[in-house]
Chains A and B, each alone.
Chain A
Amino acid sequence: MYKREEEKLTEYKNSYDDIKVPLDLLDEAILTGFQKAKAEKGKKPRNRKMLFSFMAAAILFFGFFTSIKLSPAFAAYVADIPGMEKVIELFRGDKGRMLAIENEYYQEIGVSQEKNGLKITIDGAIADENGLVLFYSIESAEKQKEVILEEVGLLDQNGQKLNWSSASMETHHASEEGETSYNGSLEYFFDSLPVQKDFEIKIKVKSDQQTEDYKLSFSLEKEIMTKKTYKINKSVMIEGQKITFVEADIYPLRVAVHVKMDPANSKKLLNFDDIMLVDENGEVWNKINNGVSASRISENEAILYLQSNYFNNPERLYLEINKIQAVDKSEAFVVVDTDKEQLLKKPSGNQLYDFKVEEDYLMFKLQTEEEFNAFPFGGITDGNGEEITPKQTEMLDHEGEVELRVNIPNLKEFTSPISLEVSFFPTWITGNEKVRIK
C-alpha cells in the first residue's frame, strides 16, 4: 500500500550507512555520560550558595550539563598542570571558561593550609576586569561524607572585606560513600576589580569530625585582559513587549549584555531563559547556566550574562532571543497575609499555591510543567514598606512539586502583609529574534 514510501525509507536508511562516525568523540561522550550517572549515584546534589549585595542580582542554578570537547593540544596542556582535570570538570558547561583555560588565561595559585589533617588549597584563578573565579580543593586523610564551607570571606591585602556586587559559591559537598577530596569554585563579581592584586581569603570548613578556620593569601600575577565593547542599540518585539539591546561588553569570564525594556510594556520581563550568542559559523555561546545570569539595574534595565567568546574572534556576532519569563506588571508581586496564612496576591495561574507560615519560615509550593530551578522571589518588604532581608531561601524538589522556603529571622515582628517581588516565574513569552552585534 505504501510501497513507494517504504522504498524511500529504506533508501533513507541506506544513506546513513556510510555516515562518518567520530568514534573517539563518541566514546568520550559515552564515558562522560556514564561517569556523570555514576557520580550522581553516590552523591547528593551539590548546593551552590548564592549571595547578594546591594544590587538585586538574579542568579540561576541549572542542573543540566553540557560537555565541551578538548583538543589534543589542550588536553596535553591540561595534563601538565596539577589539579587541572578537576577545574575542567567544573567548567565543562561553560564554553567561555574552557576557552580562557585553553588560551592559558588560567592562573595557577597552589596556596594551601592544613589543619589537623584537613587541607584546603586555592588551586588557581581566572580573573578579568570585573570578576574573579577561584578554584579550591579540600583534602583529608579520612573519607568525609560531608564537607561544608561555612564562612567564606574575600579580603584585600589590608584585611578589609572586598565589596563585590555578586558572588556565587559552591559550599556544600556530600557523598554517601565518602571522599577524601572535594573541589569547587568561588565566584566574585565586582563593579570593578580592585586595582591591587593581593588578596586574602578566610574560610571556615566543616567536615564530618572537625571544623577548622583557614586564612590564605594569594596574588594574581597574570595580566588582566581588557574588555571589548560593542554598541548595539537595536530593538526587538516579542509578544508585544519591546526590548532594546544597548551594548555588549565581552570579558574573558563572561559577556555582559545591557538591555532596556520599554516602560510601556504590559509585562514585566524576568529572566531571559533562551538567549545566546551565535557567530557567522553558527557556533553558539549560551547563557551562564551555573552562576550569576543577570543583574537588574532598575525596573526596566538589566545586564544579562552569557558565556564568553572573548578568545574567539568571530567576524559577525548575533544575539538570538527566544524565550523570556514574564508576568503581567499588575501581578509582579506575591503578597501574603502572615497572620491568616493567606496568599493575597500572586501571578495568575496555578503555579504557586499552598502558602504556610512555620515559625520563621514563609513556605510555598510551586508546580511547573517544565523544569524550573530559579528561586522566584527577589526583594521582600513588610506591610510598612520596611525592607526584609531573608536569612536564607531554599527550593526543595519533591518529585515535581517544589517547596519554597524563605527564612526571615523574627518574622513575627514584621507587619503583615508581606510582599515578595517576583524575580523568576514559570510563565513565558516566546519568539525568535536575531540582532547583529558585530
Chain B
Amino acid sequence: MNDEKTVQRAIEGDDTAFLNLIQLYKIDLYKTGYSFLKNEEDVLEAIQEVTYRAYKNIRSVREASYFKTWLIRIMINYCNDQLKKKNRVVLGDEVLTFQGSTDDYVTLEIEDAMLALDERSREILTLKYFHDMKIKDIADSMQRPEGTVKTWLNKALKSLREKLEEKGGNVNV
C-alpha cells in the first residue's frame, strides 16, 4: 500500500483514503490508548475522539511520511488530557484491577514507572520504543531539532531509571 499517496489523498479530502489510514493504524492507536488509559471503554472513546480530531485537522499534516507519528501523537495528547481530568481515586482503582489481571511483574513495574513520568518523557518513550519510531520522525513531527529530541529522550530514560529504582526500593522493604 502506498502510504504517502493515500495520506495525500486524505489531506485533499478523500474520505475513503482517510478511513483506510485509520484502519491501517487502528491497532497501534488502540495499544497506545490502552497503555495510557488501561481500560477498553475509555480507549474506545479515545479512538472515536482521535478519529474525529484527525479528520478535522487532516490539513495540518505537513509531511505525508510522518502521518503515523502525527496520528499517534493525537492519541497521546488526548490520553494525557484524560489522565489529567481523571480523579486519582478512580485511576488508582483501575490500575489495581489491571494489576490483578496480570501476573507479569516486570510489565507492572515499568507500567507504573511510565505512569509516573512527565508527559513529554512519556510521549517520547512511547513513540520511540512502543512504536519504534526514528528520532528524526519524532523530531519532525514535534517540529524540534533532532538534538533537542535526543536530549529529551535521554532525560526521559534517566527519569524512567529513577522511577524504576524508586519502585525497586519500595519492593525490597
Contacts and interface: CB of A to CB of B under 8 A. Distances in A.
Contact of B48 (A33, A278, A434): A33
A26 B161 contact: no
Interface in A62-119: 66-67, 69
Contacts of B160: 2, 5, 9
A67 B47 CA distance: 11
A37 B89 CA distance: 33
Contact of B19 (A34, A36, A66): A34
Interface string A279-322: 00010100000000000000000000000000000000000101
Contacts of B34: 16, 19
Interface string B1-34: 0000000000000010011001100110011001
> What 4 A-B pairs are tightest by C-beta distance, nearest first?
A33-B51, A37-B55, A9-B129, A33-B48
B141 interface: no
A11 B97 contact: no
Chain B interface size, as a band, is 35 or more
Interface stretch (B61-69, B105-113, B142-150): B105-113
Given A9-B129, A16-B31, A22-B40, A33 B107 contact: no
Interface in A1-39: 1-2, 4-6, 8-13, 15-16, 19, 21-22, 25-30, 32-34, 36-38
A1 B150 CA distance: 13
Contacts, number: 117
Contacts of B130: 9, 12-13, 16
Interface of B: 15, 18-19, 22-23, 26-27, 30-31, 34-35, 40-41, 44-45, 47-53, 55-56, 85, 87-90, 93-94, 97, 104, 106-107, 109-111, 114, 125, 129-130, 154, 157-158, 160-161, 164
A38 B14 CA distance: 12
A38 B44 contact: no
A30 B93 contact: no
Given A11-B106, A13-B130, A38 B48 contact: no
A322 B87 contact: yes
A5 B89 contact: no
Contacts of B41: 69
Given A2-B158, A66-B45, A26 B26 contact: yes
Contact of B89 (A27, A29, A432): A432
A34 B55 CA distance: 7
Contacts of A247: none
A432 B87 contact: yes
A37 B56 contact: yes
Contacts of A274: 85, 87
Given A4-B161, A38-B55, A320-B90, 16 more contacts: A2-B157, A11-B107, A12-B107, A12-B130, A22-B40, A22-B44, A26-B30, A26-B44, A29-B44, A32-B51, A33-B50, A34-B15, A34-B18, A34-B52, A37-B53, A67-B44
Nearest to B23: A30
A289 to B, nearest CB: 13
